[in-house]
């Protein structure tokens, strides 16, 4: 799929592939709200406000790192409520949300940067697209995974 905007959530500064993703021509929104605990209601509300303020092009691809993963279903719901199309969800070394009957509403992918990540097997069981990459290959692997959604 070709995203309109990549929305990045939970990436620590040392792992953020902003430069490489921008160089590839993708619109980006860093949606982490300041001072909000990850994956909770305040985090989702703050991220939704930041996304809306950025005026993103759709479809959005919501990309979560680490503890931000469980927030993706609620954040996707907030985007649908705001009439913004979510084209996909990607988890990067992230905790996936608990399975739910009405989610996912778009294709999902999981990118592991550590060998033997058990969450990768769990993603495969959910029939999500999966990929593995070393830390240096994060951006190219992420872009390839998004393309496959």
Annotate 80-117 with b (16+ C-beta within 10 A) or e (fewer).
eeeebebbbbbbbbbbbbeeeeebbebbbbbbbbeeeb
The pTM of this model reads 0.95
Residue 109 in tokens: 């992918």
Mean pLDDT of the chain: 92
Contacts of 29 (CB under 8 A, 6+ apart): 5, 6, 7, 8, 50, 51, 54, 56
**In the 8-state DSSP scheme, what is residue 4?**
S
Query: What are the tens digits of pLDDT across the range 33-89?
Result: 887 777 789 999 999 999 999 999 999 999 999 999 999 999 999 999 999 999 999
Query: What are the tens digits of pLDDT across the range 8-45?
Result: 999 887 778 888 888 888 899 999 988 777 778 999 99
For the chain, list the domains and their CATH numbers: 5-148 (3.40.50)
């Amino acid at each position: 799929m070709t995203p309109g905007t990549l929305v990045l959530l939970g990436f620590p500064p040392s792992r953020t592939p902003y430069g490489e993703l921008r160089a590839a021509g993708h619109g980006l929104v860093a949606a982490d709200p300041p001072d909000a605990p990850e994956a909770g209601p305040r985090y989702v509300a703050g991220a939704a406000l930041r996304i809306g303020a950025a005026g993103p092009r759709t479809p959005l691809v919501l990309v979560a790192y680490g503890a931000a993963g469980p927030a993706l279903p609620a954040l996707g719901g907030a985007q649908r409520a705001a009439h913004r199309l979510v084209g996909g969800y990607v988890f990067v070394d992230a905790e996936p949300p608990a399975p739910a009957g009405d989610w996912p509403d778009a294709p999902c992918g999981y990118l592991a940067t550590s060998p033997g990540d058990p969450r990768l097997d769990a993603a495969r069981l959910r029939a999500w697209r999966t990929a593995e990459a070393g830390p240096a290959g994060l951006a190219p692997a992420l872009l390839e995974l998004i393309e496959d959604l």
